[in-house]
Amino acid sequence: MRVLLASSSSRGLKRCLHTASLDRSDIASAVLDLEKQAVRAENATYARLLQRCARAQALPEGRKIHSLAVKHNLLPGNLILGNHIVSMYAHCDSPGDAKAAFDALEQRNLYSWTGLVAAFAISGQSKETLRALERMRQDGVRPDAVTFITALGSCGDPESLRDGIRIHQMVVDSRLEIDPKVSNALLNMYKKCGSLSHAKRVFAKMERTRNVISWSIMAGAHALHGNVWEALRHFRFMLLLGIKATKSAMVTILSACSSPALVQDGRLIHSCIALSGFESELLVANAVMTMYGRCGAVEEARKVFDAMDEALRDVVSWNIMLSAYVHNDRGKDAIQLYQRMQLRADKVTYVSLLSACSSAEDVGLGRVLHKQIVNDELEKNVIVGNALVSMYAKCGSHTEARAVFDKMEQRSIISWTTIISAYVRRRLVAEACHLFQQMLELEKNGSSQRVKPDALAFVTILNACADVSALEQGKMVSEQAASCGLSSDKAVGTAVVNLYGKCGEIEEGRRIFDGVCSRPDVQLWNAMIAVYAQFGQSHEALKLFWRMEMEGVRPDSFSFVSILLACSHTGLEDQGKSYFTSMTTEYRNVTRTIQHFGCVADLLGRGGRLKEAEEFLEKLPVKPDAVAWTSLLAACRNHRDLKRAKEVANKLLRLEPRCATGYVALSNIYAELQKWHAVAKVRKFMAEQGVKKERGVSTIEIGKYMHDFATGDDAHPRNREIREELAKLHSQMKECGYVPDTKMVLHFVDEQEKERLLFSHSERLAIALGLISTPLGTPLRVTKNLRVCSDCHTATKLISKIAGRKIVVRDPTRFHLFKDGKCSCQDYW
């Protein structure tokens, strides 16, 4: 019997039934009206309301409708309404309710079973989905294409792959594999489950039924699995066939374009997006910006950002642009952009901004952001807390970093790794050791604050130790990694090789390398090649590079940086140029970057081919960076081409007007030309601009402590003993024929004062402390922030012979291993 609804009490019900509203309040109002009806509503009303609940995932309202249907005895003999109830529970992600409703059905048909399958599939229960399909077939009901498409949706990760394969077999048994919609569902399932091989087999069988969805899924599958070139090949093939890729496929392939080598492909996809009219959509615009940021094309990312309607931009858009600046070392630009941001910052925004403060070393803004984070009640978030610790540490304020760390209610392994690395880099090795042991004790004692050190934690701390030549601390960390079962981990093995190599223990580094190099990991090979390159052992580096290729390990971009440096550091100009050329002929997977171009300029400059090096930089397809010009500047000075050095210094200053290196170089050039008035003028200008010359600082590890010395430093507690040791060494060196190279002192003072200034260079102070603080024969390891001068190089060779010590001195450009009066660089640096 058809029942008319009373108008006075059913306005909400009418509005819900006669509009496409999925508003929860409208559905709730309709259910309330339904409850008030004096007589029961018709079945169609219940069915339509249940559909609304399913689409809006309004589970509480759906349950009320179900209870009303039971109350009014509508379900007995009413299979259609029963199926709607099962379907509603399925789409509301309530498989338990769906199964109970299904079990209560007096009869079941294809739609009933498909509803049950959907309930388990939507909730990701692949095994229950499979059981439902098997029960369905046992019940004599044949699954159709919709049932299988629904069931395949339950398999979305590698763990459910086996269930997906069994469902695939059922599809084959049902002869539904030829249905393009089912085949596409199979492709999508295999893509999500991580089985590219299965997806490729399905795709191969679809030769006559492939459509835009098939091609898009397959291209996306290759992109997700890191097969970028295959993904792009599929995309280009689609274009050739005149197939228009789906929006989701283009976004997925864009995500695979994540390096400068792929920026042209990213631009191609961007142009297709623009032609398809998707560019104005928020999700797509954000994906395009992300691609350009990852590819290093920050200006293009900014163009997309600026072209977006201001009302369209969300906080994600701002975060992507901020992140693009940060990851491309443009922290100041990120800070300037943030000042325009009108939306409320979230945790991702703050993490990016704190990274920007780190790269810009702007601790002042970092403190302001810290206050805003506290006001926004985000300081308890572990990720934000870690970013704060990292920012303060990188800005040189380890005390503030420690204060944030101590206040953190929860700490992750990243929290511990960041603070320990901060102490190591500040040369506070004893404190770092204490923190490291504290972290291990928490894990050992089962504390609620415990964190389990992982491979990444050990790698980070080992690399920090390597950076400051803290070998003893690094050994302790390495031993702990082994006790945690990580001795065979490739990343940890690489970090240990890096540690021993940077600390001058090349033989030990090679022994460890030989123990783990059986696994084809290019990063491990790169680490060992880099060690040989930095210490001037180019022939060993080239031999290892050749062996790497013979063992099937394909060189990457970093491999070529190291091999070009090896050639540069020993004057192998022809071989270096040959390797550089081979990057575009034999190794097309490797893209030349500014680092490779800089290495070639350095190679030519060290060999005295200064004009050729300058022309090479001027003709590059990319703009040379400050590192490249600084390298050429050093070469010009070494080869006494002061005119060219002055020109290069000016180019460097035009590129980076606040670069202290450029001003210092100009000042030194004028000093060498005895133009003291010009020297004073440059120094005055530097003072007016607030540009400070970096002071030479050398560091030496003795026991658990790191000792820093600046040039002319007399603040060390053992200063008197250090000076006495240096005086003794100076006398012994002169007996060996040492003549101070006073041209290295670019001050307007007499020869005696110049000799005294050389005598006080920071590395000599550090070496003297090492000699009086360690047993005879103990190797000394010194790290210096500026290039070693030629006089200190000569002096250290003599000291190594006189004292009978191995002395390792690292500066920003080279590693020197002095032994028996000789240096590993063979005086070519």
18-32, 150-164, 642-656, 660-674: range with highest mean pLDDT: 150-164
* Per-residue pLDDT band at 3 (split at 50, 70, 90): very low
Is pLDDT at 5 greater than 50 in this prediction? no
pLDDT band at 11 (very low <50, low <70, confident <90, very high): low
Under 8 Å between Cβ of 451 and 442: yes
Give the integer Cα–Cα distance in Å for 359 and 148: 53
Calculate the alpha carbon distances from 268 to 214, 283, 317 in Å: 21, 18, 21
Per the rule left: phi > 0, alpha: psi between -120 and 50, beta: everything else, 353 is alpha
CB atoms within 10 A of CB 519: 10
Contact 227, 211 (CB under 8 A): no
When pLDDT is cut at 50, 70 and 90, the band that residue 585 belongs to is confident
Helix-helix angle 413-425:429-444, to 10 degrees: 160
3-state secondary structure of 816: strand
Residue 806 falls in which region: left (phi positive, over 0), alpha (psi -120 to 50) or beta: beta
Q: Which of 730, 794, 804, 781 has the alpha carbon at shortest distance from 760?
A: 730
Residue 255 burial by CB count (10 A; 0-12/13-18/19+): exposed, middle or buried?
middle
Rg of the Cα trace of the chain?
A: 35
Q: In 3-state terms, what secondary structure has residue 249?
A: helix
DSSP per position, 72-99:
TT--TT-HHHHHHHHHHHHHTT-HHHHH
Q: Give how far the C-alpha of residue 136 lies from the chain's centroid of Cα atoms, to the nearest Å.
A: 48
SS (H, E, C) 631-700: HHHHHHHHCCCHHHHHHHHHHHHHHCCCCHHHHHHHHHHHHHCCCHHHHHHHHHHHHHHCCCCCCCEEEE
Q: What is the pLDDT of residues 514-566, one digit of tens each?
A: 887 666 689 999 999 999 999 989 999 999 999 998 888 889 899 999 999 99
Choose the weakest-confidence range: 2-11, 186-195, 374-383: 2-11
First to last CA, the chain: 99
- More confident of the two residues 687 and 766: 766
In the three-class reduction of DSSP (H, G, I as helix; E, B as strand; rest coil), residue 346 is classed as coil
> Which of 15-19, 135-139, 682-686, 769-773 is predicted least confidently?
15-19
Highest mean pLDDT among 384-388, 425-429, 587-591: 384-388
- Asked whether the predicted pLDDT for residue 654 surpasses 80, the reply is yes
CA neighbours closer than 13 Å in the CB half-sphere of residue 721: 11
State residue 4's pLDDT score. 40
- For residue 14, pLDDT beyond 80: no
String of DSSP letters for 281-337: SHHHHHHHHHHHHHTT-HHHHHHHHHHS-TTT--HHHHHHHHHHHHHTT-HHHHHHH
Question: Residue 780: its pLDDT value, please?
Answer: 96
The residues near 407 (Cβ < 8 Å, ≥ 6 apart) are 379
Distance CA(413)–CA(454), nearest Å, equals: 8
Q: For 628-641, what is the mean pLDDT?
A: 87
CA atoms within 13 A on the CB side of 763: 26
Of the pLDDT bands very low, low, confident and very high (cuts 50, 70, 90), residue 7 is: very low
Helices 398-407 & 382-394 angle (0-180, nearest 10): 170
pLDDT, greater one: 599 or 446? 599
Q: Please provide the DSSP assignment of 457-505 as one string.
A: HHHHHHHHHHHTT-HHHHHHHHHHHHHTT-TT-HHHHHHHHHHHHHTT-
Render pLDDT for 434-447 as a digit per residue (tens, 0 to 9).
888 888 888 777 66
**pLDDT band with cut points at 50, 70 and 90 for residue 168:** very high
Q: 72 vs 528, which has greater pLDDT?
A: 528
Q: Is the pLDDT of residue 409 over 60?
A: yes
Share of the chain above pLDDT 70, in %: 94
- State how far the Cα of 521 lies from the Cα of 754, in Å rounded to an integer: 50
**What are the structure tokens assigned to 168, written together?**
């695939």
List, edge to edge, every strand of the sheet that includes 815-819.
705-710, 697-702, 780-784, 807-810, 815-819, 822-823
pTM of the model: 0.64
- 813 and 534 in contact (C-beta within 8 Å)? no
pLDDT tens per residue across span 131-167: 999 999 999 999 999 999 999 999 999 999 999 999 9
Reported confidence tier of residue 91, pLDDT bands at 50, 70, 90: very high
Q: What is the mean pLDDT of the chain?
A: 88
3-state helix vs strand vs coil in the chain, percent to 5: 65, 5, 30
| Least confident span in 29-43, 215-229, 293-307, 707-721 | 29-43
User: What band does 17 get if pLDDT is binned at 50, 70 and 90?
Assistant: low
Q: How far apart are CA 101 and CA 112, in angstroms?
A: 10
**Nearest CA among 185, 184, 276, 266 for reference residue 223:** 266
CA distance 373 to 44: 53
Interatomic CA distance for residues 344 and 470, integer angstroms: 43
* Tokens (6 digits) for 82: 């029963």
Q: What is the DSSP letter of 259?
A: S
Between residues 402 and 312, which one has the greater pLDDT? 402
Q: Does residue 424 register a pLDDT over 70?
A: yes
* pLDDT higher than 70, residue 266: yes
Q: Alpha helices, DSSP H only, in 72-226?
A: 79-91, 95-103, 110-122, 126-138, 145-152, 161-173, 180-193, 196-205, 212-224
Tokens representing residue 665 in the block: 């170089």
pLDDT digits (tens, 9 = 90+) for 469-524: 889 889 989 998 988 888 888 889 999 999 999 999 999 999 999 887 666 689 99
Q: Mean per-residue pLDDT for 71-80?
A: 89
pLDDT at 56 over 80: yes
Q: CATH for 593-602+609-693, among 3.40.50.620, 1.10.3720.10, 2.40.440.10, 1.25.40.10?
A: 1.25.40.10
How would residue 275 be classed by pLDDT, with cut points 50, 70 and 90? confident
User: Over 60: is that where the pLDDT of 247 sits?
Assistant: yes
pLDDT of 750 reads 61
User: What pLDDT, in 10s, does the model give residues 776-786?
Assistant: 999 999 999 98
Assigned CATH topology for domain 211-313: 1.25.40
pLDDT band at 8 (very low <50, low <70, confident <90, very high): very low
| 114/101 Cα distance (integer angstroms) | 13
What are the pLDDT digits (tens) for 757-770? 788 899 999 999 99
> Is 60 exceeded by the pLDDT of residue 39?
no
Where does the pLDDT of residue 422 fall: very low under 50, low under 70, confident under 90, or very high at 90 and above? confident
How far apart CA 438 and CA 416 sit, in angstroms, is 10
Enter the tokens of residue 600.
């070639």
